[in-house]
Structure 1
């Protein structure tokens, strides 16, 4: 099922998401719905809070970038109860967008490398290191679980310049080619 995307101003986007257990009701169906929604919206990642579920789950598919980044070939993962355990001191600034902030793209500085501990769909514990683009996308989705958005990382002047766009989103004036969920 394709789920509506919660847009800026929806309170679920500012909540710290809850840890889940293997017996979470209909978890596999929910994960399938996350994938279907992500693909329908042309996203590369989607976190549960973005579809109004305050639980610690996100999905990422970076295989589309395999030509430019061969290390991303086959990169399609579900992250359950993730915890980033290490951030590198080296940071890189690149443009980001977000399905919950349609029409807004800005450069964000993020650590270039991370180490993340998470559970897969079978609730196996996994610890992995990522660098470059994969690390960036993981951090972006992880932030959603912490009640953060990429605009939180912007300088004050850029935030002031975005004020009108953000107010429009908050007031339900959304221009997106997917179903949205406003306040």
Structure 2
């Protein structure tokens, strides 16, 4: 089990600060990959659909998004 991270609450200054773009090398690093594992675990524990790094006090331009599975029933208009 990964370690869940603290999530910043609405109004916290970290949420308005600029984030840093990661280089390809940084993105592929063991440190960032481990952080992403923690970010996904935190998002899932909070029952979220997505979570950005700055929401867990890291000023990095990266996020996790839960995509889900393909629906069995299409969503859209029906024509008769």
TM tier relative to shorter chain: 0.7 to 0.9
User: Unpaired segments of 5 or more residues in structure 2?
Assistant: 75-80
Is residue 59 from structure 1 mapped to residue 67 from structure 2 by the alignment? no
Q: Which runs of 4+ in 1 moved over 6 A?
A: none
Rounded Cα–Cα distance in structure 2 between residues aligned with 1:12 and 1:59: 18
TM superposition score normalised by structure 2? 0.74
Q: Residue in 2 aligned with 1:16? A: 18
Q: Residue in 1 aligned with 2:78? A: none
Pairs aligned (count): 70
1:68 deviates by: 7.3
Q: Cα RMSD over matched residues? A: 2.4
Aligned residue runs from structure 1 range 82-161, under 5 A: none
Where is the strand percentage greater, Structure 1 or Structure 2? 1
Rounded Cα–Cα distance in structure 2 between residues aligned with 1:2 and 1:57: 17
- CA shift in 2, pair 1:68/1:12, >3 Å: farther
- CA shift in 2, pair 1:67/1:6, >3 Å: same
TM superposition score normalised by structure 1? 0.35
Which of the numbers 40, 49, 62 marks the counterpart of 1:44? 49
Name the SS of the counterpart of 1:63 in structure 2.
coil
